Structure formats: C-alpha cells, structure tokens
C-alpha cells in the first residue's frame, strides 16, 4: 500500500485555509455520475459531420481527385479539397524565431499537390451523420502517383536522398549545438570513457477521448465558436482568427471536459483547421471526431531519437564530461506552433543536469521524414535525457567499482552549491539532490533490498534495482514560446467577480483535464479572499473576447501575480478593483455579506495592502516555480511504483513538498517578463 | 444503407421503442438516440472498456453490440446505476481516493466494478485487477482505482456483517 504523504500542510492563515490541504475535487463528482460534457458528447442544432479521406502512401503526388460520386451520395452537404480550403485559410509554418536556422515548409489544412505521410487527410466529406459521411468518403476517387519516401534517420541524411520538401535544400529541420569547450582534452586524459548508443521508438499519447472539435461559424455576425477538446483555447482563438481572417473578438474557443490530453491536444492539426473552414463554407456547425485508427496516424508522435553518448570518468568515479549526439526524426513538417524541435532541444539541455560536469558538448539534428508530425508529449525530452544520463552514470560506476548510489552521491551537484547553472546553461535556484538521494536510500531500505536481491539470485530469481535522478522543467513561463513568436500563453489569466450575493466567480483561462486545476484555483482564490471554497465557483477552459493581461501559464495562481509590482502599484490596482466592483455590489462595503464583514478589511477588492501574508506568496511561488525541480526515483520489478513518493513521480506535489524550488530569484526576471507581456 | 428497423428494449428502467438503422451500435444508440452520453467510446473496437454497459445483468462492450441485438434486453448505463444509487458507495470511494482524472474511462470502470461487486464477497486485489484488465485508463494508473473498489467491497462486506 502507499506510504502516507507527509507534505507539511501550509500554515493556516487567520482564516479558513485551503492551500496545502488535501481537498477533494468538486468537479470529479460530476464525472463520476456520467454527467461529464466532452466535445464528443456535444450536439448542436443543424450540426453536420466531417470525415476525411486519407493518403495510403507515405509520399505521393496527388494526380487527380474525383469527388462527383461522393457529392451525389445521400446526406452529403460538401466535399472539399485542399484548393477549396486554401482559398480561406492562410498557410502556417512551424518554426520559432529563436531557433536559428530552423526551417519547415508551409502547411495548409489539406494538401494541394503532395501527400507527405501515410494517413494524411486529403479530402473532406461533410454529411448529415458521420455514417453517411463515411459512406460518401468511400466514393471519393484519388489518383496518387507514389514518390520515394524518406523513412528513417539515415535515409534523411544520405547523400542524394529524396527530399521530403522539394522547396527546402535538404531534410534538416534544425541543428543546434552546445559546447563548454575543452571536451576533447578531458576525454583524452580521462582514466575511463564509457559510452552507449540509445534508440527510442516513436510513441503517441493515446488520449482515451480521441481528438474532437465542433466549429460553428455564423456568417450573419461573422462569428466563430469552436468547441474544442484542447488544452489551450486561447492559443486556438488567436490561430483561428489569424489564419481565417476573423476578428479575434469574434472567435470563441470553448474547451469543456477533455478526455485526456497529455500534450497531444495542444498542437494544430490539419483536420481541425479544415473543420473551421468547412463550417465557414457551409454556415453550419461541423463536427469531427478522430476514430482510434485515425488517431494513431494523425495525432502527434514523439520520442523518435537515436542518441550516441559518452562520458569521461576519472579513476575515482568522478564524471568529468559528457559528449552527446542526438538525432531525432520528426514528421514531414515541424508542428505548429510549438515546433518539432523543442523535444530534441530539451534532450541535449537536460542530459547530465543533476551532476557536476567540467565539460559538456552536444550536437542535435532534427530531421524530416515522411511520417506523421511529432511534437511535445508528456515530459517533453525528459525521459530520453534521463535514460541516457543514468545509463552513463551506471556505466561510470561500474568502471570505477562504485555502487549505483555511491557514484550518484559522488557526482551530484552539492545541495549547498546552489544557485548555479548546469553545464548546459539551465539556471537552478535550489535543488536538493543529495538530500533526496539520502532519503531514498533510507526509504527503500537499500541495503536490505540488496541482500534480498543476492539471496533471490541464488535461487535463480533475477531482480533489478534501478536508481535515476532527474531535473524537471516545471513552469517555464509564457516567454518559453513567446520569445520565439508563438502567442501561446499570452492571454492566460483569471477574472474574479464577487457577486451581489457575496459569492465568488472565478473564470480561469487554463484548462482542466482532471489534474485538479479548478480545485487548485478554488483553493487559492478562497484563501486569497478569506472565504470558504464552497462559495467559489470556478469555470475553466473558455477563450473569448475578454481583456486579459498576460499571465504565466498553467499553475500560475491568480493571486500572487498581482504581487508582482511595487506596493504602490499594487495598491493602485486594488483601489481600481474596488471601484470596478461597485456596479455588482452597490458599493465596495457591500461586497461581502455580513458573515464575512469581520474580514472585509483584508479583501483585496477593498484595497487592503495587508491582504496577503508573505507566507502565502512564497509558498505559492514555490509550488508553481518556473525553475526546475529535482527528483530521484527508483523502481524495482514487482513493486508498486506509487509507493515511492520521495521520487519525482508527481513533480508538482514534489516541488511543493521539497520546498526547494526557489521563488525569490525567479521573481525579478520572470515576473518582469510577464508584466512586460510576451513579445509577440 | 438498409432502412430503419423497430427496436424495443428497457434502458435504465424505462421501456424504449425506436426505429434504428441496423448498422447502429448500441453505444451510438445510447449516446445519440437516447442522449445517454455517460457511456463513452474510446476505441469503437472492443479494446478500451469506456463503453461498458450492463446488458441483462452482464457488462458488455456497447461498441461491439448492434442496437438491434439488444431487442428485448434490459440495459443499464452509468446514468441509471447512478440514479438508482447502485454505485453510490463506489462513486464515493472513487471521489475520496481521487481514482479518476479526466473521467473519460470512469463510467466504464464503474460499470465493470459494479458487475464485479455484484458477485458479493471481497475480491482480492488480483481479482480486481483481472476484472479491470479490459478498462484502459490513460490518466491515472490503476492503483487508486483498485483501492477504491477494494474499499467499497470491504465496506459492503462489513455492512452486511452487522446486525
Ligand atoms: S469504445 Fe468500446 S471498448 Fe472502446
Ligand atoms: S481518467 Fe482519463 S482515461 Fe481514466
């Protein structure tokens, strides 16, 4: 059974405290009663259904498309090709400005001339029901002329290789390197060199609810409403507005209950863009739900990497340097707007992160091939970086005759060395790998496990014990993509309203897929205002025309963001808020009903500068720090991995528990960044 | 496409008569015709278990049953089980243990857990895991789900043991 979690609860304030308490999720009851409302469940009046005819070839010229028979099928309202949609939608390119030299061809909802992966949507059919649309899709006749496909890393780089995009010079999407200098010398003089080649197969996310979207364009008002199973409604509000030339204030994106996302549902998919155009062409709502087979060939894939890595090791087991080549095979395009290069970039920057290294060198190649696009999915790049690093560390330990714990203890960045930077340039505030490792040693009763292992081995039972350390990037702020020109978190924010009845409405831009976002926001808002969370009504997942200031991405609490400025500015804003509330409450002093009157001087809406204790602010920043948190984790065959809470399995909780991810240093730069708004 | 055929069955205690296309699955019939959207479809090929419903007292994949095959059957979905209080303890235990994230798999898991517990007694954790082997959850891992089902079984066994 699970060991009890020993997070010290946040010290209660002078009012009911919710932050730090293990509270249940109010919205979970709805889901347990079968009352969820996912996009797949939604039916709008006069709604039509889209299905797509897909390419069976990895690379083919589209010679001819014959849609006449399909158009004549019962219930069919529209059959559309790439050319039809290209008249409405401007192309997009999946590059970020700060990735120098990155290239990717322009993309359209449906291709004009060539299909570039097996499974790419080529023709859209819209009919009264999905079944009728599928019937008609079978009648679409496309003549393909097969072209040579690029199917792996070696082929992509070979001399004279076919090119995935004829308009680009080669198949290299992005190349980057890191070099601290002196690496060759370190290797030449090291007592040992350990090395390995690591192959990682493609994964996909497999959200249990497949991708689903309903686009509803109303030509009378030129207004677009999209019900979208996504993590990022504001991002899509911006993209649909820009690529379809609709005023952003007339685009509304609603993300209701979402049946799993895992990063899969925050990218631009060709079918989703197409559905918006189909709705515009028809002036009616159009729904698309990928079936499971379609999901496998059209959802993003991830983690297709080949890494060659070596480490220079001193005779005593000190790891001196690492030298890494990461080649990653992406799709035929770089994904929009987050690109397909971030994963590899994080692999080369996270390798070796928990350890002191005198030298580090890395070479990253991101290569196109004729397969479905890849992009960010669960723990982007971390598993690859961790696997490579820890294998090298184990090999170093073996060479030097050190136990896996000992070689890690010897090489970890010391707990008192922070703040510092990793050899790859990541800045760390205050990690605690040594303390973590020591705690893990005790928790797992390492020596006992080793003797049990030896005893079992004698009986012919082979049991492994693995130790891994890692550093996780937790909350990198809107600037993470904003610096490259992607308006992803630029509009994130929260609006808090206090109603005449003394209840609180909190509208939050970040979405909920069951991680507890709404609950967490409710806790923060309730504590911030000093009320019971029962009267805080939270609504997440809607993007519409509301003037919201740029805020940091998921996890940034509505409260402390307001502390970013000087006290004077804070007070000015608070006074402004008090005024702004008057229409709702008939005067600031009526905002809270009597039962809260005793606390009203603490209400931010009333301009109380003493509204927060420094404690809350600090704890919240710790919890939602943008800086990486450290973790150690071990696994042993046959045991319950959830029992090891000391590890990095639940990074957000862990960073709170550890309390070591710093707030202060992050403060200035990051918060200035967010107040300045993301550079667009 | 063949013409609709008449279909009569009992769903969540209510007698229902409709005309359906013969190719309609029971899952689509429940979700689209009867608007019982608590039953989910995650794969439409019998792999994920999100679409489980009770049919004549046995859990079935409603994506693999044609609606016409349910002629005369008694069907219960998560909505029906919920409204008649048959899974109240399970729901409570799932809530307490936070045995769900996105909740998309949850109705199928609850239906399956309900069927398991209907056999009475306290199943072992192995039995519970075995019963859940056809339910994919992509969010949570299964530990909390098994905990919640085990807790409910114990609770019920304890309650029965009392005078
Ligand atoms: S939808 Fe029926 S088993 Fe997946
Ligand atoms: S809770 Fe999301 S799939 Fe199970």
pLDDT of residue A489: 83
pLDDT(A12) > 60: no
Beta carbons within 10 angstroms of residue A45's beta carbon: 7
How would you classify the pairing of strands A60-66 and A141-146?
A: antiparallel
pLDDT(A400) > 60: yes
**B91 and B155 assigned to the same domain:** yes
Inter-chain touch B79–A135, beta carbons under 8 Å: no
DSSP structure class, residue A266:
G
- Work out the angle between the directed axes of helices A342-350 and A382-400 (0-180°, nearest 10): 30
Cα B109 to Cα A228, A663, B91, B112, distances in angstroms:
25, 41, 11, 5
Q: CA–CA separation, B129 vs B107, rounded Å?
A: 17
pLDDT(A658) > 80: no
pLDDT(A127) > 90: yes
Inter-chain touch B95–A135, beta carbons under 8 Å: no
pLDDT of residue A33: 97
pLDDT of residue B1: 65
Q: CA–CA separation, A622 vs A626, rounded Å?
A: 9
* d(CA A380, ligand 1 centre) in Å: 29
pLDDT(A444) > 50: yes
Q: B45 in a domain, yes or no? A: yes
8 Å CB contact between A625 and A663: yes
Q: CA–CA separation, A626 vs A631, rounded Å?
A: 15
pLDDT single digits (tens) A360-371:
999 999 999 999
Identify the residue whose C-alpha is closest to ligand 1 atom 3.
B46
- Percentage above 70 pLDDT, chain A: 77
Which residues of A229-304 form beta strands (DSSP E)?
251-254, 286-289, 301-302
pLDDT of residue A234: 93
Which residues lie across from B55 on neighbouring strands?
A: B58, B75
* d(CA A658, ligand 2 centre) in Å: 28
Tokens of A89: 């939608």
* Residue A209 with chain B: CB contacts under 8 Å: 40, 42, 102, 104
Beta carbons within 10 angstroms of residue A668's beta carbon: 10
CATH of the domain at B115: 1.10.150.120
Count of positions (residues) in chain A? 680
Q: CA–CA separation, A148 vs B158, rounded Å?
A: 68
Most confident among A6-20, A347-361, A545-559, A577-591 (mean pLDDT): A347-361
pLDDT of residue A601: 29
pLDDT(A569) > 60: no
Ligand 1 atom nearest to CA at B47: 3
Q: CA–CA separation, B144 vs B137, rounded Å?
A: 11
8 Å CB contact between B58 and A216: no
Inter-chain touch A514–B101, beta carbons under 8 Å: yes
Tell me, yes or no, if A169 comes closer than 8 A to chain B by beta carbon.
Answer: no
Beta carbons within 10 angstroms of residue B117's beta carbon: 22
Ligand 2 atom nearest to CA at A260: 2
Tell me, yes or no, if A138 comes closer than 8 A to chain B by beta carbon.
Answer: no
* d(CA A256, ligand 2 centre) in Å: 15
Tell me the best of B43, B100, B141, B144 to mutate to test the pocket of ligand 2, counting ligand atoms within 8 Å of each CB and taking the most: B100
Inter-chain touch B44–A291, beta carbons under 8 Å: yes
* Confidence bin at A16 (pLDDT 50/70/90): low
Positive or negative, the CA dihedral A14, A19, A21, A26 is: positive
Tokens of A297: 């060939």
Which residues of A166-244 form beta strands (DSSP E)?
172-179, 192-200, 203-204, 212-218, 223-228
Q: CA–CA separation, A170 vs A426, rounded Å?
A: 31
| Closest by Cβ to A33, choosing from B91, B98, B136 | B91
Residue A651: closest CA among A485, A511, A515: A515
Residues contacting A386, CB < 8 A, separation 6+:
A350, A468, A469, A470
**B93 and B151 assigned to the same domain:** yes
* d(CA B138, ligand 2 centre) in Å: 5
Establish whether the linkage from the previous residue to A59 is cis, with ω within 30° of 0.
Answer: no
pLDDT of residue B81: 98
**B57 and B110 assigned to the same domain:** no
pLDDT of residue A388: 98
Tell me, yes or no, if A640 comes closer than 8 A to chain B by beta carbon.
Answer: yes
* Residue B23 with chain A: CB contacts under 8 Å: 131
pLDDT of residue A14: 56
* Residue B137 with chain A: CB contacts under 8 Å: 208
Burial of residue A597 (CB within 10 Å: 0-12, 13-18, 19+) is exposed
Q: CA–CA separation, A294 vs A130, rounded Å?
A: 14
- Percentage above 70 pLDDT, chain B: 97
pLDDT of residue A539: 79
* Confidence bin at A15 (pLDDT 50/70/90): low
Q: What is the ipTM of this complex?
A: 0.96
Q: CA–CA separation, B31 vs A368, rounded Å?
A: 41
Mean pLDDT lowest among A397-401, A474-478, B138-142:
A474-478
**B58 and B26 assigned to the same domain:** yes
**B101 and B154 assigned to the same domain:** yes
Q: CA–CA separation, A478 vs A549, rounded Å?
A: 12
* Residue B91 with chain A: CB contacts under 8 Å: 29, 32-33
Cα A613 to Cα A23, A73, A535, distances in angstroms:
22, 67, 22
Residue where a domain stops, chosen among B77, B98, B115: B77
Q: B82 in a domain, yes or no? A: no
Q: B68 in a domain, yes or no? A: yes
For residue A349, the surrounding DSSP H or E stretch is helix A342-350
Inter-chain touch A32–B106, beta carbons under 8 Å: yes
Q: CA–CA separation, A511 vs A265, rounded Å?
A: 12
Q: Which of A134, A208, A259, A635 to mutate to test the interface with B (most CBs of B within 10 A)?
A: A208
Residue where a domain stops, chosen among B44, B77, B110: B77
Residue where a domain stops, chosen among B40, B59, B77: B77
The whole-chain average pLDDT of chain A stands at: 81
Residue A372: closest CA among A322, A329, A327: A329
CATH of the domain at B56: 3.10.20.30
Beta carbons within 10 angstroms of residue A18's beta carbon: 23
pLDDT(A356) > 50: yes
* Confidence bin at A543 (pLDDT 50/70/90): low
Compare all CA atoms of chain A with the CA of B92 and give the residue at the minimum distance: A29
Mean pLDDT lowest among A184-198, A392-406, A457-471, A637-651:
A637-651
Tell me, yes or no, if A209 comes closer than 8 A to chain B by beta carbon.
Answer: yes
**B147 and B96 assigned to the same domain:** yes
Q: CA–CA separation, A134 vs A197, rounded Å?
A: 45
Which residues lie across from B60 on neighbouring strands?
A: B53
Q: CA–CA separation, A512 vs A186, rounded Å?
A: 48
* Confidence bin at A538 (pLDDT 50/70/90): confident
Inter-chain touch B98–A24, beta carbons under 8 Å: yes
Of A675 and A433, more confident: A433
Of A363 and A614, more confident: A363
pLDDT(A535) > 80: yes
**B70 and B93 assigned to the same domain:** no
* Confidence bin at A488 (pLDDT 50/70/90): confident
pLDDT of residue A474: 81
Q: Is the pTM of this model over 0.80?
A: yes
Cα A279 to Cα A39, A129, A135, A211, A223, distances in angstroms:
16, 15, 20, 17, 11
pLDDT single digits (tens) B145-162:
999 999 999 999 987 655
Beta carbons within 10 angstroms of residue A497's beta carbon: 14
pLDDT(A131) > 60: yes
pLDDT(A354) > 50: yes
Give A71-125 as a DSSP string. Answer: HTSTTEEEEE-HHHHHTT---B----TTSTT-----B-SS-SSEE-STT-EEEEE
Which residue shows structure tokens 């999946």? A94
CA A355 to chain CA centroid, nearest Å: 25
pLDDT(A17) > 60: yes
Tokens of A607: 């301009």
CA A170 to chain CA centroid, nearest Å: 29
| Closest by Cβ to A32, choosing from B23, B37, B100 | B100
Domain that residue B118 falls in:
87-159
Of A139 and B161, more confident: A139
* Residue B43 with chain A: CB contacts under 8 Å: 292
Largest CA distance in chain B: 59
Ligand 1 site, CB within 6 A: B 41-44, 46-51, 61, 63
8 Å CB contact between A218 and A44: no
How many domains, chain B?
2
pLDDT single digits (tens) A62-119:
999 999 999 999 999 999 999 999 999 999 999 999 999 999 999 999 999 999 999 9
* Confidence bin at A575 (pLDDT 50/70/90): very low
Positive or negative, the CA dihedral B67, B69, B72, B77 is: negative
pLDDT of residue A541: 74
**B95 and B151 assigned to the same domain:** yes
Q: CA–CA separation, A399 vs A316, rounded Å?
A: 9
8 Å CB contact between A51 and A125: yes
Inter-chain touch A32–B103, beta carbons under 8 Å: yes
| Closest by Cβ to B143, choosing from A74, A206, A642 | A642
pLDDT single digits (tens) B35-83:
999 999 999 999 999 999 999 999 999 999 999 999 999 999 999 999 9
The mean per-residue pLDDT over the stretch B97-119 comes to 97
C-beta of B109 in contact with ligand 2 (< 6 A): no
Inter-chain touch A642–B102, beta carbons under 8 Å: no
Tell me the best of B52, B94, B104 to mutate to test the pocket of ligand 2, counting ligand atoms within 8 Å of each CB and taking the most: B104
Residues contacting A459, CB < 8 A, separation 6+:
none
Looking at the complex, report in whole angstroms how far the Cα of residue B103 sits from the nearest Cα belonging to chain A. 6
**B91 and B69 assigned to the same domain:** no
Q: CA–CA separation, A270 vs A289, rounded Å?
A: 13
Mean pLDDT lowest among A129-133, A588-592, A622-626, B129-133:
A588-592
Largest CA distance in chain A: 80
pLDDT(A618) > 60: no
Establish whether the linkage from the previous residue to A337 is cis, with ω within 30° of 0.
Answer: yes
pLDDT single digits (tens) A18-34:
998 888 898 899 999 99
Compare all CA atoms of chain B with the CA of A639 and give the residue at the minimum distance: B143
pLDDT of residue A616: 30
Backbone angles phi, psi at A610, to 5 degrees: -85, 20
- Percentage above 90 pLDDT, chain A: 67
Looking at the complex, report in whole angstroms how far the Cα of residue B111 sits from the nearest Cα belonging to chain A. 11
């Amino acid at each position: 059974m699970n060991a009890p979690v020993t997070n010290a609860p946040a010290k209660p304030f002078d009012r009911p405290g919710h932050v730090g308490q293990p509270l249940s999720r109010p919205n979970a009851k709805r889901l347990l009663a079968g009352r969820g409302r996912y996009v797949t469940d939604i039916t709008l009046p006069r709604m039509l259904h889209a299905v797509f005819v897909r390419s069976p070839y990895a690379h083919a010229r589209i010679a001819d498309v014959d849609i006449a028979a399909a158009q004549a099928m019962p219930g069919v309202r529209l059959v559309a090709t790439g050319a039809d949609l290209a008249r409405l939608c401007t192309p997009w390119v999946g590059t970020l400005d700060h990735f120098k030299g990155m290239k990717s061809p322009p993309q359209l909802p449906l291709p004009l001339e060539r299909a570039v992966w097996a499974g790419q949507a080529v023709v859209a059919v819209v009919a009264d029901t999905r079944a009728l649309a599928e019937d008609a899709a079978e009648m679409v006749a496309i003549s393909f002329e097969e072209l040579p496909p690029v199917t792996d890393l070696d082929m992509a780089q070979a001399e004279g290789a076919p090119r995935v995009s004829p308009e680009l010079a080669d198949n290299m999407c992005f190349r980057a390197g890191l070099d601290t200098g002196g690496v060759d010398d370190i290797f030449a003089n090291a007592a040992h060199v350990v090395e390995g080649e690591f192959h990682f197969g493609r994964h996909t996310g497999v959200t249990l609810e497949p991708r689903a979207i309903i686009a509803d364009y109303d030509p009378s008002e030129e207004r677009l409403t999209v019900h979208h199973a996504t993590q990022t409604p504001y991002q899509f509000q911006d993209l649909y507005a820009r690529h379809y030339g609709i005023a952003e204030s007339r685009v509304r994106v609603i993300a209701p209950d979402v049946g799993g996302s895992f990063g899969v549902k925050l990218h631009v998919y060709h079918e989703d863009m197409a559905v918006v155009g189909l709705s515009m062409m028809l002036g009616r709502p159009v729904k698309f739900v990928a079936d499971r087979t379609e999901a496998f060939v059209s959802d993003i894939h991830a983690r297709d990497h080949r890494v060659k890595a070596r480490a220079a090791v001193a005779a005593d087991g000190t790891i001196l340097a690492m030298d890494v080549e990461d080649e990653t095979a992406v799709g035929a395009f770089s994904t929009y707007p987050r690109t397909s290069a971030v994963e590899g970039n994080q692999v080369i920057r996270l390798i070796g992160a928990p350890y002191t290294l005198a030298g580090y060198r890395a070479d990253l190649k991101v290569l196109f091939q004729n397969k479905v696009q890849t992009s960010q999915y669960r723990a982007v790049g971390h598993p690859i970086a961790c696997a490579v690093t820890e294998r090298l560390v184990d090999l170093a330990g073996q060479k030097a005759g050190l136990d896996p714990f000992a070689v890690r203890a010897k090489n970890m960045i010391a707990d008192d060395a922070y703040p510092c930077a990793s050899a790859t340039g990541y800045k760390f505030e205050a990690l605690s790998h040594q303390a973590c490792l020591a705690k893990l040693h005790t928790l797992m009763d390492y020596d006992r496990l080793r003797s049990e292992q030896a005893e079992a081995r004698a009986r012919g039972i082979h049991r492994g014990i693995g130790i891994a350390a890692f550093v996780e990037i937790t909350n990198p702020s809107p600037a993470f993509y904003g610096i490259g020109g992607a308006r992803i978190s630029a509009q994130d924010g929260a609006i808090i309203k206090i109603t005449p009845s003394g209840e609180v409405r909190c509208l939050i831009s970040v979405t909920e897929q069951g991680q507890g976002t709404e609950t967490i926001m409710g806790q923060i808002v309730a504590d911030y205002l000093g009320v019971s969370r029962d009267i805080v009504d939270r609504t997440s997942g809607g993007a519409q025309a509301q003037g919201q200031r740029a805020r940091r991405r998921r996890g940034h609490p509505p409260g402390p963001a307001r502390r970013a400025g000087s006290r004077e500015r804070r007070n000015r804003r608070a006074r402004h808020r008090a005024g702004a509330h008057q229409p709702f409450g008939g005067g600031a002093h009526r905002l809270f009903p009597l039962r809260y009157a005793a606390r009203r001087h603490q209400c931010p809406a009333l301009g109380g500068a003493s509204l927060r204790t420094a404690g809350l602010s600090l704890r919240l920043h710790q919890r939602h720090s943008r800086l990486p948190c450290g973790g150690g984790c071990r696994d042993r065959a046959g045991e319950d991995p959830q029992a090891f809470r000391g590890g990095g399995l639940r990074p957000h909780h862990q960073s709170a528990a550890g309390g070591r991810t710093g707030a202060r240093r992050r403060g200035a730069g990051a918060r200035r960044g967010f107040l300045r708004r993301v550079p667009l | 496409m063949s013409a609709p055929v008449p279909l009569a069955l009992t769903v969540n205690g209510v007698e229902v008569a409709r005309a359906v296309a013969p190719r309609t699955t029971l899952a689509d019939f429940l979700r689209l015709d009867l608007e019982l959207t608590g039953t989910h479809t995650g794969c439409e090929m019998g792999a994920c278990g999100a679409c489980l419903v009770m049919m004549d007292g046995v859990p079935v994949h409603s994506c693999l049953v044609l609606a016409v095959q349910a002629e005369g059957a008694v069907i219960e979905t998560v909505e029906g089980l919920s409204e008649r209080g048959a899974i109240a303890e399970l729901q409570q235990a799932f809530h307490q243990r936070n045995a769900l994230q996105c909740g998309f798999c949850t109705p199928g898991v609850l239906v399956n857990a309900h069927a398991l517990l209907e056999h009475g007694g306290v199943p072992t954790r192995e039995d519970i895991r075995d019963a859940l082997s056809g339910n994919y959850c992509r969010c949570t891992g299964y530990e909390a789900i098994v905990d919640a089902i085990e807790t409910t079984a114990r609770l019920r066994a304890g309650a029965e043991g009392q005078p």
